[in-house]
């Protein structure tokens, strides 16, 4: 079977094409972005944040696998990404390092073609 089904290079190509061809595109990621891959096993948050910054989604949410290495494994990723990470249902009173991450937001609002979109 010669079909290729994924990879960051393929995702990057598709995202760049849609952004080039359409002015009203939002790229949202639903989480579970990196855990389970060989490159995450070797490089942890460093490579994950670098690759996601290259893709530059408009926003992402956290999936359960972002917590596979605990809060201490997630906070460096949150501190190194350059886009909003949305999580409205977290109680962070006992996790101050995560609560202080600049990228972590309960929600955000986008304006696309004059329409306000709350995410």
pLDDT tens digits, one per residue of 27-57: 999 988 877 777 788 888 888 899 899 999 9
Q: Choose which CATH entry (3.30.9.10, 3.60.21.10, 3.90.920.20, 3.30.70.100) describes domain 8-118.
A: 3.60.21.10
State the greatest distance between any 2 C-alpha atoms of the chain, in Å, as a whole number: 50
Q: pTM (2 decimals)?
A: 0.87
Cα 5 versus chain centre, distance: 20
SS3 55: helix
Query: Each residue of 84-107: pLDDT tens digit?
Result: 999 999 999 999 999 999 999 999
């Amino acid at each position: 079977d010669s079909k290729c089904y994924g990879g960051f290079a393929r995702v990057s190509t598709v995202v760049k094409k849609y952004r080039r061809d359409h002015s009203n595109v939002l790229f949202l990621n639903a989480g579970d972005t990196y855990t389970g891959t060989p490159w995450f096993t070797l490089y942890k948050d460093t490579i994950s944040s670098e690759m996601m910054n290259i893709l530059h989604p408009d926003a992402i949410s956290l999936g359960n696998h972002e917590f596979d290495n605990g809060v201490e494994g997630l906070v460096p990723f949150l501190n190194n990404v350059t886009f909003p990470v949305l999580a409205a249902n977290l109680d962070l009173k006992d996790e101050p390092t995560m609560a202080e991450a600049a990228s972590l937001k309960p929600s955000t609002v986008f304006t696309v073609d004059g329409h306000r979109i709350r995410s």
